[in-house]
Each structure stands twice: as C-alpha cells, then as structure tokens.
Structure 1
Amino acid sequence: MGQASVDSPGLVLVGRYFKKRRGLATSLAKTGTSLGSLVFPYFVQYLLNTFALRGTLLIMGGLQCQMFAFALLLREPESFALERRTKTKSTNNEVAEITNPGVNIEMKLLRSISNDQKKPQTMRPRTQSESDKYAVYQRHPSRLESDSNQSFLDSLSQSRILMYLSNTDLLSSSAADVNTETVEAISNNKSEKETTDSCKHKLSNILDLSLLKNFVFILLMAIAALAIGMFLGPIYIPALMIENGANEKDTALFLTALGVSDVASRLFVGVIADLRFIKRHHIMMTSLLLGGITSQFTDYYTTFELQIVFSLIFGMSLGPYAALLPVVLADFLGQQNLGKSMGFIFCVHGACIAAYHPLVGTIKDTTGSYVMAFRVFGALCLLAVVLLFFIPNISRLEKVRQKKTMC
C-alpha cells in the first residue's frame, strides 16, 4: 500500500509537468528504482552485519521517512497558475481603490450606517444617525461618481428598510441587521450545499469506473497482467543460476548486471521515445519480445559468461516497460485519465504478483526446477506483445464508438 501510494502519484505529477519530454522525464523518475536495486542490497547487508536485524529495520525506517519531507515539496502545476491569478487580482483591486476614491468614501459611509443601525432602534424607517449621514452625503454629490451610485444609496436607505416594516416581529431590528442576517443565512446554506456537492464529486472521481467501459483500457490492463510476471525474474534468477551450476558468490554479480542494464535501458528509451521516430508502444513491444524469447532458453545458460549475458538482456527487457507504461497510458487514454488508469493498473499488478508467486512455487515443486516458470512468464510476455500490436486498431474503433454514443 505504501509503495503504491508513493509511486503512482509521483508518476502522474511527472506526466502533468512534462509534455514534449514526457518520455525522458518518466524514464529518469523510474531510474531511481533501478539505482536503488543496485545500492541497497549491499547497503542492507552491511547494516545487518553491523547493527543486526533490529538496528537495520530502524535505519531503513528512518530512510523511508525522508519521503515525507520530499513529498511536502511536490506541487501540482495548476498551483503556480493559481498563485499568479491571485496576485494579479489583488494588484488590480489595489489599483482600483487608489484610482477610484469615490468607491472608498461610499463603502466607509455604508459601513458607518450599518454599525449605527446595529444599536436598538425605535419603530421608524430611518434612524436619526442615518438621516444625518444621508443628508450630509446628499450635500456632497461630488463624492458620487455616477447616478447609479446615488440610486444605490436611495434604495438602501428607503426601499430595503420599508420592505420589512409590514412585519411586526422585525420592528425592533434595524433593516441593516435583517439584511445582513438574511444574506449570511443564504451564504451559509449555499456554502454547505457546495461542500456536500464537492465531497460527492470527489468521491465519484475516486470510485470512477467509467474507464472500465473503454476497450482500450481493458486491453491495456490485460497487457499489464501478462507482462508483470517478468518482474518476478530478479527474485528467482539467483536460484535459477545456482541450479545451472553457478557459484553462490556470483549471484550478486548477476543482479548487479541486471540492474545496470535496467538503468541504461530506461535512460535510452526515454530519449528515443521523445524523438518520435519510433512509436512508444513499439518500443515496449520490442522489450517484452526480447524478454519473452530470452526466457525460453534459460536451461542453456550453464556457463558464467552466458549467465551474465542473460542477466544483461533480461534487465534490458524490464526497463522500457516500466519507463514507458505511464507514457503509453497517456498516449492512448489521454493525460486527464492518467491518474485513474495508473491506479487500476497498479491494482492489476499487485493482484497478479500475489497470484504468480504461488504459481512459481507450484511449478518448482512439480518440475523440480525454475526453468519452466521462466518459460511460462516468457510465454505470457509474448502474448502481451500480440495484444499490444492490436492497440492502435482498438483505439480507433473506440473513438468511433464514443462519437456514435455522443451523437
């Protein structure tokens, strides 16, 4: 839950900040995961040897808590535009008050009248203090800039007060008090209604299942379910290589080679994806095809050199899928649906990983080797490649269907 809460919002924000270089930005953001897989195994082993398990967990927990500080620095791109609009509006209001002194005089007079009327009054349409002030104001017509301002004062002093005189319950209150209370009550009711509507709107956005009616998204979820099996490879590669005669001390080298190729491939495909001479989903297809084919020959990697080569190629097949998945989702579903689609995709990833681990154990117990498990995951990747091939056609059909639905 913690990993999903960190990874998905970060990728969505990166996608909203970048448009022209979105592929490279997403690849750089995902590179941190690969770099961590290179550094932390050795670091955790050092901590275990030095501080034992309890101290290691405390130190790792402290490092994880640093994400709170970095998360506080994250901001949506719209927040900068909102700040600019607020500053501009504030500046315009200040300029208007300076250039229009008549408005200031009028507002001060109205506030003064309202304050006087909050005192207990006798039954009459206009208090003495108000009459005096109104008379003074009438003797200085230059303070009003137009006839509309004069008519506004007339309506405030006469019509709105006489409006309440027919109600005997209101005789002990001034017109300004009644008017203020009425406006406040209306504003409170409106504010409560807006708050309720806002909560309902946010809840409907969180639980929005409209994407499940999109055939392109359903196909992308199926591809994600098939391709995620490849990411179990780094967990089982050491055991597979030991089965093929590798030394236990060399297993760390295999993971290091896999991590290096993973980082390099993510950076490379990020640059290539933004050049646009190769479609992004074609790059993803190529990487999954490479991993699927390589996984079919795992029982032949019996020498140290071949095992290193396999680790490098396997890492190259993982990087492009992880780096380009958010970009491909934005390409086919739109940037506005990236957050929702990433949430569903991560749910699919989590459910499939939870199911694939017992599957690997069952295959190992049945066959006595991890070779068949890698072949199964490789076959699933090849099936994901076939589905990716039909994504553009399904996307065109979905657009036609949506246009007919709108009509």
Structure 2
Amino acid sequence: MADTRDARIPVDRGWAWMVLLGSFAISTINVGTEKSFGIFFIEFLRQFKGKVFMTAMINTVWNVVFSITSASVLLIGFKRVSIRMSVFLGITLCTLGYGISCFATGLEYLLVSQSILVGMGAAFNIPPIYILIGEYFDKKKGIANAVFVSGNSLGGVIMPPLYRYVFDEYGLRGGLLITAGITFNSLVAAALLRPTTFYINHSSKKLCIDNGDGESKQLSKSADACSDLNSLQPLLSNTMPNNSTDTQTDIDNKDSDKSSNSVTVKYDKNNDIVFDCSTHKPETMENHVSTMEDEEKEQGCFLKCKNKMDCSLFKNIHFILFLVIYVLGNVANMCAHIYIPTYAKDIGISDNRIAIIVSVYCISDFAGRIFAGFLADLPRITAEHVVFVSQVVVGLVLQFTIYYTSFILLLVFAVILGCSAGMITALFPPMMFGIVGKARYPSAMAIFILWICLLEGLAVPVLGYFRDVNSTFHFTFHLMGASSFVCISLLIIFIILKKKTSSREKEDINDTSA
C-alpha cells in the first residue's frame, strides 16, 4: 500500500519519536491508573460495602460512555480541534472526575464521577493518539503502537504500589484527590503531541503572480518575510518580466475594479499569504465557504457522525471477523487486572502482596507487548501468528486457576498471563490498518471502539455475577479461557480467508499484466 502522507511530515523520524515519547508517558499515567482499578475496586468494596456485581457496574458504565464518546470524537474528526487539544480536554476531564470522587457517598455517586467524567476524558485522550501515531509512523508503526500500548503496562507496574501506599496513608478520599493531581501532570507530556498540520502550515509560503500573458508563477518565501506587504514589493519587481512596469501601472489604475486582473493579498486557512490573480470576484468563494460553514453548524452531532461513518466497512468480512476475534481474545486482558486482586483477596493474600502481584502482572504485560511488536515487524512473522500463539497460552493457563492457591503460584500465573494476554492489544492497530487502509482507519477505529467497549463492558459485570453466585472466581476464569479458545478457531478462519484474498489479488494482477 503506497504511502500518501505529505513529504513535509517527519514520518518514522525526527519529531515522530518525541510524539511517541509523549504518548507513552500519557499512556503510562492515565491508562496505568485505569489498570490499577483492581486496587480501587477493593477500596470501593471496603468503603461502601457493595457487591462485586454492583461495583463492577462502575467499569461497565465507563466502557459505555467511553465507546460512545470515542466514536463521536473519531467520526466528527479534528477539523476544528487538534488532536493535542483533544488530549488536553481529556486529561482535564479525567482530573475533574477523580477529584470530585473524593466526595462520594455511595457507588451511585461514583457512576457519575468515575464512569461518566473519567470515561469521557479517556475518550478524548487515548483514541486520538492512535490516529496521531498512524500519521507519524509507517514502516515502524508496529513497534510504535507496541511502545504506546506498553505504557499501559508500565503504568500498571508503577501505579498499583503507589496507589496502595496512598490509600493506606490517606484513605480512599485522600487517595482519589492525589490521583487527580497525578493525572493532571500528564498535561506536560500532551504538549509534545504536535499535530502533523504544523509542518504544512509552517512550510514555505507560495505566491501567485500574473505575468500579463495569462500565465502565473509561484515563488516561495518564508513566513517572516511575508509578514509585511511592503517587503514583497522588491520581490514583485525583480521577478516580473519586461512588461512588469506596465502591469504594475494597470494594477494601480484599476485598484478599485474588483473584476480586473488585480493582485489581491489574501490569507488562506493555514494563514499563508496568497496573491489572487484571477478575474472572478473574491466574494464568491468567501460566500461559498460561509454557506458551507453555516450548513455544518446546523448539523447535529449525530448527523455528523452518521455522515462521517464509512458504512462499507460493515460489508468487509475481514473487518467484521477481526472485531469478533478481538472481542473474544481481549476478555482475559480486560478483566484480569480487575479480578486477579479480588481473587487474591479471597484466598487470604495480604494487601501489600496483592499490589506486588498486580505490579508483576503489569511488568510481564509490558514486556509481552514490546516483544509482540518486535516479532510482528519481522519479515516472516505476521501479527496473526503472534496473536494465535498468545491466545493458546492464555486459554490454557486460565483453566488451572484452582491450583493457584499461594502467593508464589499466583506470581507465576501473573507472569504467564501477563506476557501473553496483552499481545492482541498491542497488535490490533497494525492489524486493522492492514485491513482497512489509512483513509478508512479513523472510521474503522470509531466502529472498533464502539463495538469492543460495549460488548466487553458487559463481560465485566457478567463475570462478576458468576463470582457472586459461586462464591469463587474459578468458573469466571474458565469462561475467560474458553473465550480465548473460540478466538483461536476464528483466527484460523481469518488467516485462511486472508491468504485466499491475497492469492486472488495476485492472480488478478497477473491476468491484467498479461
């Protein structure tokens, strides 16, 4: 697939790595905090005396809000608001959500502060970064996405012990207030997320000059030199042909005639100085643009999302199958960091050791995601192969949780599950990019998030319900492992279909060339 990015954007080089660094830091702080929900989960159960099902509803409502808001943000796009500004807004909403949670009097209050505010903040925060990384990286997008999502795991290493200490020292309410402060500090990293439009807006300015014969010349000049119209006069005189004096005289004499061949200084949408040499009235284009803007303002949010959504994706069998595969394969990764701490609590593991287990799980997850990105970029290994092997490991290790009854065995379980469960999360961006392409990637990402979060959001309370009914997590873990086995079966079908499609395309190319 040919790369259609503007040549002025530093793809796979330069500031792209600073953008990745900022994205990694944001992921470490914000998603790391979300992955520490197991620690928050225990504190919510302890403080408000709720059931596992009701407490898990906080995460479910969070997923619903996150999915709907993310889809709206990605479908409407970033025409008026840059990705960096969207991340700024998201971090601010997350900070506000954690901050007012310290005044909670019950689980119902947390459904508003934690689920709605933090869910909306995460939607403005994380999904747009996937789009930005896709704009900055091409050949190295596999390792770039793996590094970005591995920040989730590194945050899971750092944050759980930190929040465990904070809750022990300052209680739930003081800990939530400190969480808000930690989240707010990620604004510093967001400043590094320079939009790719920066390189286009600050590129060389182009001047259009009519030479009197109906032909035009384009000249480049820096933004500083173009700031003063008078500084352009020597440039105009020096570049005009022999009849430039007569042309300039005509311009001076017909300055009031807007339909003549006059040189008019204008600013385009990128603040570039443009010399209008055409004979049409300038008001025509301005009125047209104004009319389009008025029509856009009249459209509601839902109508904008409907118009932006690429419905042809629902006819793409590879894309639909990929969605189902990811839903089933990501259940373990999504629920493990919530239910492993509670399971450890049920078998009598102390709070400090639970924090260690969560940290070990996240360290393993971090290493596994980086390793998955490295493997996927190798010539003879595809992302599908890596996901297949990882899901086999996940499905097997979750079937033997009845034997994980000590701290050491839980550590081993956390290492194995951590190394394998997150690989599908690290590799879904390049996999989906290869299916839909760059042009349809934002629309596909919106559909992906809406679909995934709604379905997987239901998995958390349902699995929590089985724990309340059986008074143990063993059946819950068995179901999580079974979903991985179904994922493996569908992944085999996906690989076969992909190979057949690729072979058919090669045959069509050979027939055309012949």
TM-score, normalized by length of structure 2? 0.59
The Cα of 1:225 is off from its aligned counterpart by 1.9
1:225 aligns with 2:225: no
1:44 aligned onto 2:163: yes
Change beyond 3 A, Cα 1:367–1:245 = same
**Residue of structure 2 equivalent to 1:145:** none
Q: Deviations over 1:273-306 (max 9, x none)?
A: 1112211111012112211111111111123332
CA distance in 2, matches of 1:341, 1:2: 21
In 1, distance between residues paired with 2:320 and 2:279?
Answer: 54
Residue matched to 2:54: none
Query: Structure 1 residue aligned with 2:418, among 302, 315, 324?
Result: 315
Are residue 84 (structure 1) and residue 203 (structure 2) matched?
Answer: yes
Q: State the shift of 1:376 in Å.
A: 0.4
Identity rate, percent:
26
Give the deviation of 1:15 after TM superposition: 2.4
250, 261, 268: which one pairs with 2:371? 268
> How many Å separate the matches in 1 of 2:349 and 2:182?
34
Aligned-pair CA distance for 1:316: 0.9
Equivalent residue of 2:472, what SS? Answer: coil
**Aligned counterparts of 1:299 and 1:66: Cα–Cα separation in 2:** 41
Cα distance change on mapping 1:318 and 1:4 into 2, 3 Å: farther
Q: Is the 8 A contact 1:332 1:395 kept in 2?
A: no
Out of 373, 387, 395, the residue aligned to residue 292 of structure 1 is: 395
Give runs of aligned pairs for residues 53-72 of structure 1, distance below 5 A: 53-72=172-191
Are 1:238 and 2:341 counterparts? yes
SS of the residue corresponding to residue 377 of structure 2 reads helix
* 1:18–1:25 CA contact under 8 A, matched in 2: yes
Aligned to 2:122: 3
Match of 1:385 in 2: 488
Corresponding letter in the other structure for 2:443: K
> For the pair shown, which has the larger CA radius of gyration, 1 or 2?
1
- TM-score normalised by the chain length of structure 1: 0.73
Q: Structure 1 residues 38, 115: CA separation in 2 closer, same or farther (over 3 Å shift)?
A: same
The match for 2:250 is: 110
Instruction: Name 2:267's counterpart in structure 1.
Output: none
Shift of the 222–249 alpha-carbon distance from structure 1 to 2, 3 Å rule, reads: same
Unaligned runs of 5+ in 1: 119-151, 157-179
Unaligned runs of 5+ in 2: 1-119, 208-217, 227-231, 263-277, 509-514
What residue identity is the alignment partner of 1:284? V
Cα distance in 2 for residues equivalent to 1:303 and 1:186: 77
Once the two structures are overlaid, the 10-residue window that deviates more, 368-377 or 350-359, is 350-359
In the TM superposition, 1:6-405 aligns within 5 A as: 6-77=125-196, 79-81=198-200, 83-84=202-203, 86=205, 90-91=219-220, 97-100=237-240, 102=242, 105-115=245-255, 183-193=281-291, 195=293, 206-230=308-332, 231-244=334-347, 246-395=349-498
Question: How far apart in 1 are the matches of 2:443 and 2:135?
Answer: 13
State the alpha-carbon separation in 2 of the partners of residues 222 and 106 from structure 1. Answer: 71
Residue aligning to 1:175: none
- Partners of 1:66 and 1:305 in 2: how far apart? 36
CA distance in structure 2 between the partners assigned to 1:340 and 1:250 by the alignment: 43
Quick check: which one's helix share is greater?
Answer: 1
Asked if 2 retains the 8 angstrom alpha-carbon contact of 1:4 and 1:346, the reply is no
Aligned-partner Cα distance in 2 for 1:202–1:97: 48
Q: What is the distance in 2 between the residues matched to 1:251 and 1:383?
A: 30
1:370 is displaced (CA, Å) by 0.6
Rounded to whole Å, the distance in 2 between the matches of 1:362 and 1:52 is 28
Moved more, 347-356 or 23-32: 347-356
Secondary structure at the aligned position of 1:315 is classed as helix
Over the aligned positions, Cα root-mean-square deviation in angstroms equals 3.6
- Counterpart residue type for residue 363 of structure 1: F
* Matched residue count: 346
Aligned-partner residue type, residue 496 of structure 2: N
The change in CA–CA distance for 1:187 and 1:346 in structure 2 (over 3 A counts) is closer
| 1:61-105 residue CA offsets vs partner (Å, 9 max, x unmatched) | 233334445434423446425643536965279766523265653
**CA-CA distance at 1:355 after TM superposition:** 0.9
Distance 1:102 1:53 in 2: 81
Question: Does the 8 Å CA contact 2:467/2:476 hold for their aligned counterparts?
Answer: yes
